[in-house]
Amino acid sequence: MRARFKRRLIAGAMLLTAAPLVRAAEHVTLANGFELDCVRREVEGDHVRLYLSAASDSNYIEVKTSAVLRVETLPDPPAPPPAAAALTPAANLTPTKSELQEMLARAGEAHRIDADLLASVVHAESGGQVRAVSRTGARGLMQLMPGTAAVLGVNDSFVPEQNIAGGAKYLDQLLTRYKDNIALALAAYNAGPGAVDRYHGVPPYRETRAYVARVIREFNRRKTMVADVASR
């Protein structure tokens, strides 16, 4: 299971590095039912070029102007949470490094998720701060929204073991939903499944794409460290 996730994650990291982290400007629906996002359009006679990337003028498709059924301006992406979540005053429940690793290992084993992947999500979500609270109200190590936490059976998101168990359960549900596509599962964890389903992939939100790349990069870093230690 761990090796399978590692292969998928490395491939995903390469894909995200190549993709421009910019918001697509328009959503285009063609008369044949095909839909796509483009960063700009250029009309040439009775044809229109739909540019798919702001980084390359050669990345486009060309269709007849009459084939374009509808063009919609895409909504602005949701406001990103603060880079460093605020802390609320409370008793010190911060686990030691070894305790945190044990919690992650138990949750990973329960849900067949690599503990290093869970650790990478914790790193991206809260920086390991047990009492972290985002501007939108997400709480704890894996930044669970109160409603989501309740559905997951988490009574107190500030209790590390409960938060990790809930976050791992939610990520497990997303991995199942997206057939173990780790990039889509992480995107849904950040932006919600609705956004992933709407765009049929990682949404064109800067914050979400940066988040997915950040988690994958951290996961690969951890695996590289493990491999280096094992080779000595």
Active site positions, annotated: 125
Question: Do residues 39 and 22 touch, judged by C-beta distance below 8 A?
Answer: yes
Helix ranges (H only) for the chain are 2-18, 97-111, 115-125, 146-151, 160-177, 182-191, 193-199, 206-231
The Cβ-side half-sphere exposure at 108, using a 13 Å CA radius, reads 19
Phi, psi of 38 (to 5 degrees): -135, 155
How many CB atoms within 10 Å of residue 68? 16
Q: Which residues fall within 8 angstroms of residue 162, CB to CB, at 6 or more apart?
A: 154, 155, 156
Question: Do residues 139 and 132 touch, judged by C-beta distance below 8 A?
Answer: yes
The alpha-carbon radius of gyration of the chain (Å, integer) is 20
Q: Considering only CA atoms, which of 79, 204, 188 is closest in space to residue 134?
A: 79
CA distance 222 to 19: 23
Question: Do residues 120 and 219 touch, judged by C-beta distance below 8 A?
Answer: yes
CA distance 230 to 118: 21
